[in-house]
Amino acid sequence: MKAYTEYLTFNTQKRRDLIRITDTVKEAVKKSGVKEGLCLVSAMHLTAAVIIQDDEEGLHEDIWEWLERLAPFKPNYKHHRTGEDNGDAHLKNLLVHLQVVLPITNGQLDLGPWQEIFYAEFDGQRPKRVIIKIIGD
């Protein structure tokens, strides 16, 4: 069994951002040499996430509106007693999850026709990492 690890670093200019990383992950799969296996893509911070979605601007706006409705930015989260102001970012992470696991078939990511991989940032403007871990034969 082969194993391959790659780290990505993001430092978004905005507090919230959605960055398409499909091509970067595909390139990591290629570099790994794995033909059949699994690819884990995981945000290494609790105020960010990795998601699979359609790359369509209207849908992205709908996602942000949905997340803001369920976990709005507001000043009175108990987490803010620690001096932080990102309680909503932690809750948004819970809603969309931290990571995804994707199949590798014949040396390529086995994605559906509209599936794209995105890094979702909920509390940016500082360096954050994503790990890509690939295992298989």
Write the pLDDT tens digit of every residue in 46-88. 999 999 999 999 999 999 999 999 999 999 999 999 999 999 9
Using one digit for the tens of pLDDT, what is the confidence trace for 92-116? 999 999 999 999 999 999 999 999 9
The whole domain housing 97 covers 2-74+85-136
What's the pLDDT at 42? 98
Using one digit for the tens of pLDDT, what is the confidence trace for 6-55? 999 999 999 999 999 999 999 999 999 999 999 999 999 999 999 999 99
H, E, C per residue of 42-91: EECCCCEEEEEECCCHHHHHHHHHHHHHHCCCCCCCHHHHHCCCCHHHHH
pTM to 2 decimal places: 0.95
Split into its structural domains, the chain has a count of 1
What's the pLDDT at 96? 96
**Segment (H or E) for 5:** strand 2-10
CATH number at residue 21: 2.60.120.460
Task: List, in order, residues 6 or more apart from 114 with CB less than 8 Å away.
Answer: 54, 55
Q: Which residues pair with 71 in a beta bridge?
A: none
- Domain assignment present for residue 80? The answer is no
- Beta strands at 116-121 and 48-53: parallel, antiparallel or unpaired: antiparallel
